[in-house]
Homo-oligomer: A and B are copies of this chain.
């Protein structure tokens, strides 16, 4: 599989526009990165406000995007393997938020000057990189929907359904379950509630036969019911078959 041939970038856009990448582009992308590094749980990978001249591919493990204000930390994003987690630092230079590793993670960095060359010489690949940053934006929008429209149980259900689907796309989900570095405090933060309340939500999800959230492990008991409870429609993840992007349109060819 792609993960073996491309140990660093093999999961990038997997299940989405991966098939739109030429072999030349896959080789090129893989070659952009410096050596693989490891990061510990809760290690800050990128700090809000700092200047960066490199961006990060998440190879193994998880990460979260956080915004601080008055001692409070809000989790505003969750990243899985294959995510180019701070590619936007290339265009923004400074990040408006921090990126923190969750669990043991493997990452690889690409210096921005190499991305400049891609912009100059590989417009099609550049556009795929752009696409991947817009996927994050689409997920952000769905989180806004989730927080603005759903009660706590729906938010919890939506998040679990989303993560399961995203892990599935990059081959990191087992049948009906996945491992996670999140605890109930993280989950509460992501769902915009308190840990005490999310604990009752977790109990309710289990009692309703939708999903189980245990330390480090999530079991999807009834996927369809879970997705319904969370009003989860996966098309915003732009998976293959959802919006079927790239099938009817050639991406990146100037005409």
> Which chain A residues have a beta carbon within 8 Å of chain B's beta carbons?
49, 51, 65, 67, 69-70, 72, 74-77, 88, 91-94, 96-97, 113, 116-117, 119-120, 123, 126-127, 130-131, 133-134, 136-138, 140-145, 147-149, 189-192, 231, 233, 235-236, 238, 243, 245-246, 248-249, 251-255
A67-B141, A96-B236, A254-B113 known; A131+B91 contact, CB < 8 A: yes
Q: Give how many copies assemble into the complex.
A: 2
Check if A140 sits within 8 Å of B144, measured CB to CB.
Answer: yes
Query: For A144, what are the chain B residues with a Cβ–Cβ distance below 8 Å?
Result: 74, 76-77, 140, 143-144, 147
Instruction: Tell me the minimal C-beta distance from A98 to chain B in angstroms.
Output: 11
Check if B231 sits within 8 Å of A147, measured CB to CB.
Answer: no
A88-B137, A136-B137, A243-B49 known; A116+B148 contact, CB < 8 A: no
Check if B252 sits within 8 Å of A116, measured CB to CB.
Answer: yes
Query: For A238, what are the chain B residues with a Cβ–Cβ distance below 8 Å?
Result: 92, 96
Provide a sorted-by-A list of 9 A–B residue pairs whose CB atoms are within 8 angstroms: A51-B248, A67-B145, A74-B148, A77-B144, A88-B134, A96-B138, A116-B254, A119-B127, A137-B137
Whole-angstrom distance between the alpha carbons of A191 and B251 in the complex?
A: 37
Check if B141 sits within 8 Å of A96, measured CB to CB.
Answer: yes
Check if A92 sits within 8 Å of B49, measured CB to CB.
Answer: no
Q: Which 4 A-B pairs have the closest CB atoms?
A: A148-B192, A140-B140, A116-B254, A147-B147
Instruction: Closest B residue to A144 by CB, please name it.
Output: B76
Check if A130 sits within 8 Å of B91, measured CB to CB.
Answer: yes
Whole-angstrom distance between the alpha carbons of A251 and B93 in the complex?
A: 9
Instruction: Tell me the minimal C-beta distance from A17 to chain B in angstroms.
Output: 10
Check if B49 sits within 8 Å of A235, measured CB to CB.
Answer: yes
Instruction: Tell me the minimal C-beta distance from A111 to chain B in angstroms.
Output: 10
Whole-angstrom distance between the alpha carbons of A245 and B254 in the complex?
A: 30
Whole-angstrom distance between the alpha carbons of A92 and B235 in the complex?
A: 12
Instruction: Tell me the minimal C-beta distance from A115 to chain B in angstroms.
Output: 9
Query: For A94, what are the chain B residues with a Cβ–Cβ distance below 8 Å?
Result: 243, 245
Instruction: Tell me the minimal C-beta distance from A10 to chain B in angstroms.
Output: 22
Check if A133 sits within 8 Å of B130, measured CB to CB.
Answer: yes
Check if A145 sits within 8 Å of B91, measured CB to CB.
Answer: no
Instruction: Closest B residue to A147 by CB, please name it.
Output: B147
Check if A149 sits within 8 Å of B243, measured CB to CB.
Answer: no
Instruction: Tell me the minimal C-beta distance from A110 to chain B in angstroms.
Output: 14
